[in-house]
Amino acid sequence: MSRDKTMTADEVVARLESGMTIGIGGWGSRRKPMALVRALLRSDITDLTVVSYGGPDVGLLASAGKIRKLVAAFVTLDSIPLEPHFRAAREHGAFEMTELDEAMFMWGLTAAGHRLPFMPIRAGLGSDVMKVNPRLRTVRSPYDDGEELVAVPALRLDAALVHLNRADTFGNGQYLGPDPYFDDLFCEAADHAYLSCERIVDSAELRAEHGPQTLLVSRAYVSGVVEAPGGAHFTSCAPDYDRDEAFQRAYAQAATDPEEWRRFTERFLSGDEDAYQAAVAAFAKEAT
Amino acid sequence: MSESVTRAEYCVVACAEAWRGDGEILASPMGTVPTIGARLAKLTFSPDLLLTDGEAMLIGDVPAVGSGSRVTEGWLPYRRHLAMVAGGRRHVMMGASQLDRHGNQNISCVGDWAKPRRQLLGVRGAPVNTLNNPTSYWVPRHSPRVFVDKVDMVSGVGYDRAAAASPMTTRFHEIRRVITDLAVLDFATPDRSLRLLSVHPGVTADQVREATGFPLTVPDAVPHTRMPSAEELRLIREVLDPKGLRDREVRS
């Protein structure tokens, strides 16, 4: 019999520590584990190395001063190209950054999951990614071609946070949207992976309506499962919901002014997840 | 006829031309005018091109820009998209916040990388794109702020940097075209530096020179960018962009 791994978002955060390297799944402003990020914001945890295909997860953690170092190829809100908190943090030199190419990032996670020290890739050479990451090394093909390639180091994570559509209590995670992003790789690269989902269902139900290829994450990698309806808000979680564009606009607008941001955090981020969801519902009602 | 063709429409056709002869590969346009251009190429002289919905699906129809596809012909999540890049079955047209005379592109940040004056997107996939699949650039406002002597953070790799990196780094490297609101340019010079290929009607070579922040190779006779055919104009205006989104990106 498998183990029940259900827990609350706050219990997930209780297992994290300051100084950890934390990978965050999703992509840009798509299927980000925002309920888990919000729980992190409520904690005293800081000094994090954050590894992310960055979106508002990075923005929020940066705004709260929790990032010591960011590993990313970009940070964006998709429909709003530039993430305002990330931008401000970088322009103030608020944290260190390891800026990688999108493909280098993927192979770094893959290497970590496969317990390899690095993966060779034809990317980075000739670009300033090599200059701003002076510790990056190249490797020469041992075969006849002799091509010089970049040796992307493994992006090993202390913990991974991802959000999927469904999961069972044991940690088998299912995605129902068009793109898995790299959530499975984040889990495989981490010592401990924590998976939030829209709804926890019976294992039998996971397979009842959808093909086995939707079972993206295996319980073998998962330490905790959190049921968090709306847990990706305001990023998208297709097909359960799209990005909340009106809310994202309000977020981005507020982020450009300290006083407005203080009011935004007071209204939306000063309570627990239930308070957040209630404030979002009130915001949506106001808008109609 | 030519009086009634807008600058944006010349740009659409110039973008479409970048994908001519590409065969059965993925056209990855970034920006409104390149998106209309890729779709125009598919509807006319490059019917084998593959297109995406901008998310994870390969689309089997050619919808208007800004409206949804009704036919899915394949699945292309980011991980498979990156495999297509590495395998070279793709020709991307990226934007450029800065571009130098050898085709080095910057979309990461302006100023010193350690503490940028203006943080932009980050390098995204520009390093892997440029070393693995043909790359073109779309610059909707040709100016000395974009065409600079030296870019602040090389994201997309140009000819000089690719050649200097290692002997084999150039093996799949190709910067095909640069299309701007003023002109079409390429790198077909002995030292692989930017050359004026055509100017859009109403633009002079001197105007392009003045809008470029480094010495530009200008042939003795610079032709005009070709005019869209009547059928291409119909496709642009009635099928691909009936709402005129192209005019928001390129003003006439």
Q: How many CA atoms lie within 13 A of B88 on its CB side?
A: 8
* Mean of per-residue pLDDT scores for chain A: 97
For chain B, say whether A132 makes contact (Cβ under 8 Å).
yes
Q: Which residues of B touch A71 (CB under 8 A)?
A: none
Tell the burial category of A103 from Cβ atoms under 10 Å away from its Cβ (0-12, 13-18, 19+): buried
CATH number of the CATH domain containing A227: 3.40.1080.10
* Res. A169: pLDDT tops 90: yes
A119 touching chain B per CB within 8 A: no
Domain membership flag for residue A75: yes
Q: How far is A149 from chain B, CA to nearest CA, in Å?
A: 8
Residue A2 lies in a domain: no
Q: Domains in chain A: how many in total?
A: 1
Write down the residue that tokens 């559509």 correspond to. Answer: A165
Does any domain span residue A145?
Answer: no
In a domain, A141, yes or no: no
Whether the link from the prior residue into B214 is cis, omega within 30° of 0, is no
pLDDT tens across B115-129, in order?
999 999 999 999 999
SS3 state of residue B136: strand
pLDDT, average across residues A199-227: 96
Q: Output the CA torsion sign for B227, B233, B235, B240.
A: positive
Is B90 contained in some domain? yes
Other beta carbons within 10 Å of B152: 20
Q: Do A173 and A228 touch, CB atoms closer than 8 A?
A: no
Q: Is B63 on the interface with A (CB under 8 A)?
A: no
**For strand A148-153 and strand B118-119, is the pairing parallel, antiparallel, or unpaired?**
unpaired
The backbone torsions φ and ψ at residue B47, rounded to the nearest 5 degrees and listed phi first, read -65, -20
- Calculate what percentage of chain A has a pLDDT beyond 90: 98
Taking contacts as CB-CB distances below 8 angstroms, the residues of chain B near A147 are: 166, 168, 171
CB B161 within 8 A of CB B135: no
Residue B209 predicted with pLDDT over 60: yes
**Of A91, A125, A145, Cβ closest to residue B116:** A91
Average pLDDT score over residue span B60-85: 97
Chain A residues in contact with B75 by the CB 8 A cut-off are: 178
Q: Which of A206-210, B104-108, B212-216 has the lowest mean pLDDT?
A: A206-210
Does residue A53 lie in a domain region?
A: yes
**A263 touches A254 (CB < 8 A):** yes
Residue A3: what pLDDT? 94
Cβ of B122 within 8 Å of Cβ of A75? The answer is yes
CB A200 within 8 A of CB A225: yes
Structural domain boundaries enclosing A206: 9-100+155-246
CA distance A101 to B129: 10
Other Cβ atoms less than 10 A from the Cβ of A269: the count is 17
Residue A288 has pLDDT above 80, yes or no: no
Q: What is the pLDDT confidence band of residue A1, given thresholds at 50, 70 and 90? A: low
Asked whether residue A40 is domain-assigned, the answer is yes
Residue B118: CB atoms within 10 Å: 13
- Name the 3-class secondary structure at A3: coil
* Residue A180 C-alpha from the chain's centroid: 13
For residue B252, the model assigns a pLDDT of 79
A51 and A80 Cβ atoms separated by less than 8 Å: no
Mean pLDDT of A37-66: 98
Q: At what angle do helices B32-43 and B7-18 cross, to 10 degrees?
A: 60
Contacts of A108 in chain B (CB under 8 A): none
- How many folded domains does chain B comprise? 1
Question: Domain for residue B175, yes or no?
Answer: yes
pLDDT (average), residues B28-47: 98
Provide, rounded to the nearest whole percent, the portion of chain A with pLDDT above 70.
Answer: 100
B180 — phi, psi (to 5°)?
Answer: -130, 180
Q: Is the omega angle on the peptide bond into residue A178 within 30 degrees of 0, that is, cis?
A: no
Nearest chain B residue to A55 by CA distance is: B121
Note whether A90 contacts B: Cβ–Cβ < 8 A. yes
Q: What is the DSSP letter of B227?
A: P
Residue B1 has pLDDT above 50, yes or no: no
- In the prediction, which pLDDT does B3 show? 53
Query: Which among A138, A33, A193 has a CA at the least distance from the CA of B168?
Result: A138
Report the predicted TM-score, pTM, of the whole model to 2 decimal places.
0.97
Domain limits for position B167: 2-246
Specify the pairing of strand B98-99 against strand B105-106.
antiparallel
B143 at the A interface (CB within 8 A)? Answer: no
Q: Give the DSSP letter string of A99-110.
A: E--HHHHHHHHH
The interface pTM score, or ipTM, of the predicted complex is 0.96
Decide if B21 is inside a domain. Answer: yes
Mean pLDDT of A100-105: 98
Q: Which of A60, A35, A33, A61 is nearest to A48 (CA)?
A: A61
Q: Which of B77, B122, B158 sits opposite A72 (nearest CB)?
A: B122
Q: Does B86 contact chain A (CB < 8 Å)?
A: yes
Do residues B46 and B18 make contact, with C-beta atoms less than 8 angstroms apart?
Answer: no
Q: Which CATH number is B16's domain given? A: 3.40.1080.10
- So what's the pLDDT on residue A242? 98
